[in-house]
Structure 1
């Protein structure tokens, strides 16, 4: 670490004396209404192109003295050209104000596949640096890819478009629980951490989502606290100022029906007041009996240009979910994974369903002091209410029979989140600075009643037998299948220790210094965090820490960069009954990473290669039947290599492919950990849920000419090799799940304003284990797993207007 810092200091000292005879052309593109113009392409002398960022800014660097022609173009605006003479070391600022073109507006309604490549991070990631120059591995999945693959929910598998990402399949598609680099990563929405408990948040409907950004490794520039593995950030759709709309109808296997509506436009003639409205409704059964799910999402957004340089955006999202008693997807058997049919279920008819209502709001105010300085303030409120029950066996016997039970699971969550951050650009001599500074504040509370369980079966002949299943139960028993909700939820939660809360405040500053006309970039940052965490009804514990960040990125040419990163993470963790009675410490982690990025064919496709090592200290692991019983094993180490390629390889041929090697183990076991007879941890043991090799491929080809122009063919493959189980035990140590291999295929067609997609998943109808591990009961440990769906299809018809 000292050698890295010393090397960077030497580089900084040498670069302070650098001198260059090249110049810069930069500026901003606005609409004639004064709004930032998005997706505009800036062309320099017909040979170099880039896309403006989310605020309309662009910049060309390392330009020799010459006469340049700069052209701004977009299919829904009239193109504009400016000619300028650039002198040595001169910085020219050229702004554009584009006028709407009714003729070209029609073109945007019939345009086909935009492509998988995104060059800029969203504004909610806070940084201003293009992705290829950023000293971090950030992968973006946009709405075009979601539509092609018909990903209706984040749990559908959208994450497989990014290397090394899996899902801890739990509670059906209620929660996503994404894993990356050996850990479950934190969920963000529009740049804010929205995780209030171990079971949230409710998975988003993709109808409201513009893109999902996967930030690998610690993200000190946007986290108050988090796992060193990284985060994912869901970016919701905002008004664009264009008058347009889209409606879709979908149907599929297992009685799946879905419809969506997307309206985008202006509410005032001067274009200052804009709106966006997304509505989605769906209903589906399952390949398992006795299971169904219904969802409704309504998401209106309003933005208003308060002045020439200030804009306010208000978002509200309502999600309603009603689904079968949660836990119905699990299978349990002492005889091994796949020892029961994939369409088998233990779930009984007539149990209480799970009902969820989630409300969340965002208010964002952006103010541009100038073209170089911008202030963003954002506040958010979340309210989550859940009423219902979950299924889990009371016991599973050696012969495979079991006692089923259903447990009450009423829960409520509230979050108040706020952030204020400043982005700035300035030069000191020949050194360019990109400043990010801000504060984060948050308060979260979750309380749940899971105190009552009702057993559905009886001993001595009344056990549930998977070989001869009977799904009925005696509804005339004295303990009829109803739960006592006479007391307020918070009171009931207190009795069972179902109270969790956290509050935090954080201050951070980051400077990205650019040398040699920004070819070499050095990132220096630090964050101070104070966080209080309370779980299981215990008094909160406050932890404080300063986490540094050091990154170096170098552009070999305008399309190729290499980077190195050292970052730290800090995550106060749940309380509980620690095995040895000592004080619970926050998770601390160190991440070292190196990588290379390249844009090919003018940015139509790109590649990213990274290698990393993460060390995690003090992480707790549950043991025994109660989640509050925890133990600090010692130290964990995760290291690996990841490769991503995405984009348009050739006209009409689009590819998304990735590979990840992950080596995730326990690297140190604390003394006395294995004194309990139920514990068997050892150095070199695989971390739960970590697969060593993950390969994903998605390829689509669209015919460009002729009578069948607009017809597309799609194919996909997902493979997980040398998989790790969800948990281990003394009885069934390190019993890995078999390798996973799934093939998908599809067809698409678009003409004028109409389009249709047909996707077939699990093309060869293979019995797939999505996830699994070992579950312990009083009669011993058994295998538990979730089976993937058999061959199934989805078909969507859409109309843009």
Structure 2
């Protein structure tokens, strides 16, 4: 009855999903959409033993580098600065414990939720309560002090079956091959849902996540002293050393409250209203803040064999937000039941606030007397952290912003299906009114200047139109055009008093096109498509040294995502992509134009196999294997440019110091798992024992994030369900 807003679950053992709400805001068959949406199910996440989502979480085309702490990712060669949680803004910090699925909408069509980069959005969809009582306890242990515990309970609340609940609790602690690096996450979430009748439902969800991270150190660049140039390589000689030390850390806590009301008036009209509130507190200590530069490893001269320009900094911050969505949808037929129509009208509102004070030591300060070595020698490490309490004069306020962004949106979407669904035409228009209130308090708190405040209003119109046509009964062709805008409320700040102001926000547009197929009696399904995306109004430095929004990036490519159920017990998940993403306009930086975006491989691919035994002596056994391929990448793009002043006074970057030629070679990442499930005769308990393995060949390589891959790892998980 509530299918307009509720995605129907696929079979319990499915790695794929046939429906989505991301991109359309209502439940739709993925094969009928005129753009690409990928879904990663909780079954897939658990079977492959993912405990934290990172570089290795790349089992979908043109997607990688997901940061579960900050929420950033890379889709189609471009950044995705924000993610969603059940359709609402979420600034990172996720855990698998209460995730039902991860939906990735690619391209500018993600603007149906408001501001978004033209690359797309990630929507984390959480689990819902069930009417049948169920309980689950899972305990995991493994290499490098890995410990994880998950507890889940669901069912009716009280004697009435109209009210159900879901409770999730998780704890994760994980070490790494590098010393001092550690991750610890604690999660507690609960959902209560009440069904007044088959047409009306209300649910309330509360989630708390606490995440502590001592990071793994990336591999720095090797630097020559003579001439201050780089030799075009990474300092692999110290690749296994965690030069951060034990004090480098980031703590994040997030509390989220969400309430949803759904009602179906009749066979035509349905409504959903949802409200969301979240707050995120961040506390960090780091030692690689040097005014935008990064520590470098000296390979000659006085400091040969040492890492230089490490400076301590610490900061606190608080982010928060609130949102409201009201969706009204109508489903009706015209032309004597020959045209099926779906119309959606949405009003939404979101608020984002951020306060981010940071203190850091000044560049060039002699810090050895405070116990912190600016010049660090891995042969004689000194990890003592100069605490703000012990050395208050060492730290100077570097940043204090207090910002708020409010966005009011109105969205109209209409879909018409003709010839029994053979042709589906979709069109939409979104209007957003953006209010920014940005305050820069740094100079005022230092006593060197006044508070700088920027208040401005902007509006954005972002249309989209798409067509999905059945070429045959099994193959559908699609084409889609969409536009997007991006406020970048996380980093937008007021300028120094008297400074220039960017007149516009970022924008973008893009095309999606290709084929979606269901062959061999729907056992083989795939999407093969291309994309053409332009990101506009990027802030760059022009030839006069001014910061202006005149930059642009073009991303083009081809993608394949496929699932093949070869037999009822053996299936394949495979795909990959070719991606060419580069600046087409970069202001004064002429050398950057045409270079592949940093950290983005031109080629990538993945393959996942699964075999189950549902009868016979091996009944209950399941094995899986996965491999991802990451092509050659260049980690640096905006560093190492050498500025040259032309005779007419213009300043351009026509060459570089070697940074931009550094290459991370291609690599394969492998993992596998085996599990066995059983239910004793006469018992209500289902048991399973699973072993998962990572880096099966114990390969030694550097990932595109510049971090050294973890050695071979193994974990063992015991799960009991009622």
TMscore range, shorter length? 0.7 to 0.9
Equivalence for 2:644: none
Equivalence for 1:771: 704
Q: Aligned in 2, Cα 1:541/1:766: closer, same or farther, shift over 3 Å?
A: farther
1:791 equivalenced with 2:691 (yes/no): no
- For the residues of structure 2 that align with 1:364 and 1:451, how far apart are their CA atoms? 41
Alpha-carbon distance, 1:275 to partner = 0.1
Flag structure 2 segments of 5+ consecutive residues without an equivalent.
Answer: 224-230, 299-303, 441-452, 642-656, 680-685
1:516 equivalenced with 2:414 (yes/no): no
Alpha-carbon RMSD: 3.2
- For the residues of structure 2 that align with 1:541 and 1:521, how far apart are their CA atoms? 40
Q: Quick check: 1:576–1:630 contact (8 Å CA) kept in 2? A: no
Equivalence for 1:141: 40
Q: Quick check: 1:617–1:634 contact (8 Å CA) kept in 2? A: yes
Alpha-carbon distance, 1:154 to partner = 3.0
Provide Cα deviations, 1:624-644, integer angstroms capped at 9, x if missing partner.
xxxx99554532111100000
User: Secondary structure, in 3 states, of the residue corresponding to 1:207?
Assistant: helix
Alpha-carbon distance, 1:412 to partner = 0.5
Point out the more displaced range, 633-642 or 416-425.
633-642
Equivalence for 1:590: 509
Equivalence for 1:312: 202
Alpha-carbon distance, 1:617 to partner = 1.6
Q: Quick check: 1:392–1:406 contact (8 Å CA) kept in 2? A: yes
Q: Which one of the candidate residues 474, 477, 481 is aligned to 1:566?
A: 481
- For the residues of structure 2 that align with 1:482 and 1:699, how far apart are their CA atoms? 56
Equivalence for 1:712: 622
Alpha-carbon distance, 1:122 to partner = 3.8
Q: Aligned in 2, Cα 1:790/1:611: closer, same or farther, shift over 3 Å?
A: same
Provide Cα deviations, 1:269-322, integer angstroms capped at 9, x if missing partner.
331110000100111222111222221100110001234422110000000122
- For the residues of structure 1 that align with 2:603 and 2:26, how far apart are their CA atoms? 31
Equivalence for 2:461: 546
- For the residues of structure 1 that align with 2:532 and 2:607, how far apart are their CA atoms? 25
Equivalence for 1:261: 151
Equivalence for 1:555: 470
Equivalence for 2:651: none
User: Secondary structure, in 3 states, of the residue corresponding to 1:146?
Assistant: helix
Equivalence for 2:530: 611
1:469 equivalenced with 2:380 (yes/no): yes
User: Secondary structure, in 3 states, of the residue corresponding to 1:239?
Assistant: coil
Equivalence for 1:49: none
Q: Which one of the candidate residues 201, 204, 211 is aligned to 2:92?
A: 201
Provide Cα deviations, 1:98-156, integer angstroms capped at 9, x if missing partner.
xxxxxxxxxxxxx9x61212111148951333111111111111111111111223337
Q: How many residues align?
A: 658
1:424 equivalenced with 2:330 (yes/no): yes
Q: Quick check: 1:124–1:191 contact (8 Å CA) kept in 2? A: no
Equivalence for 2:120: 230
User: Secondary structure, in 3 states, of the residue corresponding to 2:45?
Assistant: helix
Q: Quick check: 1:403–1:456 contact (8 Å CA) kept in 2? A: no
1:700 equivalenced with 2:610 (yes/no): yes
User: Secondary structure, in 3 states, of the residue corresponding to 1:153?
Assistant: coil
- For the residues of structure 1 that align with 2:385 and 2:257, how far apart are their CA atoms? 45
Point out the more displaced range, 756-765 or 331-340.
331-340
1:729 equivalenced with 2:648 (yes/no): no
Flag structure 1 segments of 5+ consecutive residues without an equivalent.
Answer: 1-27, 29-35, 37-51, 59-73, 75-110, 486-491, 773-784
Alpha-carbon distance, 1:216 to partner = 0.9
Q: Quick check: 1:507–1:528 contact (8 Å CA) kept in 2? A: yes
- For the residues of structure 2 that align with 1:515 and 1:124, how far apart are their CA atoms? 21
1:641 equivalenced with 2:552 (yes/no): no
Q: Calculate the TM-score normalised by the size of structure 1.
A: 0.76
Alpha-carbon distance, 1:741 to partner = 1.7
Point out the more displaced range, 511-520 or 568-577.
568-577
Alpha-carbon distance, 1:427 to partner = 1.4
User: Secondary structure, in 3 states, of the residue corresponding to 2:400?
Assistant: coil
Equivalence for 1:247: 137
- For the residues of structure 2 that align with 1:274 and 1:124, how far apart are their CA atoms? 28
- For the residues of structure 1 that align with 2:245 and 2:716, how far apart are their CA atoms? 31
Q: Quick check: 1:718–1:742 contact (8 Å CA) kept in 2? A: yes
Structure 1 runs of 4+ aligned residues shifted over 6 Å read 482-485
- For the residues of structure 2 that align with 1:650 and 1:541, how far apart are their CA atoms? 59
1:448 equivalenced with 2:356 (yes/no): yes
Alpha-carbon distance, 1:499 to partner = 3.0
Q: Quick check: 2:162–2:195 contact (8 Å CA) kept in 1? A: yes
Alpha-carbon distance, 1:482 to partner = 6.8
Provide Cα deviations, 1:33-61, integer angstroms capped at 9, x if missing partner.
xxx6xxxxxxxxxxxxxxx7874889xxx
Q: Which one of the candidate residues 340, 360, 373 is aligned to 2:256?
A: 360
- For the residues of structure 1 that align with 2:574 and 2:350, how far apart are their CA atoms? 37
1:744 equivalenced with 2:661 (yes/no): no
- For the residues of structure 2 that align with 1:467 and 1:572, how far apart are their CA atoms? 42
Equivalence for 1:532: 435
Equivalence for 1:756: 689
Equivalence for 2:87: 192
Q: Aligned in 2, Cα 1:483/1:599: closer, same or farther, shift over 3 Å?
A: farther
Equivalence for 1:276: 166
- For the residues of structure 2 that align with 1:269 and 1:572, how far apart are their CA atoms? 48
Alpha-carbon distance, 1:702 to partner = 1.9
Provide Cα deviations, 1:531-562, integer angstroms capped at 9, x if missing partner.
23455734143221211111001123454311
Q: Which one of the candidate residues 517, 531, 539 is aligned to 1:620?
A: 539
Q: Aligned in 2, Cα 1:124/1:794: closer, same or farther, shift over 3 Å?
A: farther
1:686 equivalenced with 2:596 (yes/no): yes
Instruction: Spell out the pairing of 1:89-168 with structure 2 (5 A cutoff).
Output: 114-122=13-21, 126-155=25-54, 157-158=56-57, 160-167=58-65
- For the residues of structure 2 that align with 1:133 and 1:461, how far apart are their CA atoms? 59
Equivalence for 2:226: none
Equivalence for 1:437: 345
- For the residues of structure 2 that align with 1:692 and 1:536, how far apart are their CA atoms? 40
Q: Aligned in 2, Cα 1:337/1:299: closer, same or farther, shift over 3 Å?
A: same
- For the residues of structure 2 that align with 1:296 and 1:762, how far apart are their CA atoms? 26
Q: Quick check: 1:117–1:647 contact (8 Å CA) kept in 2? A: no
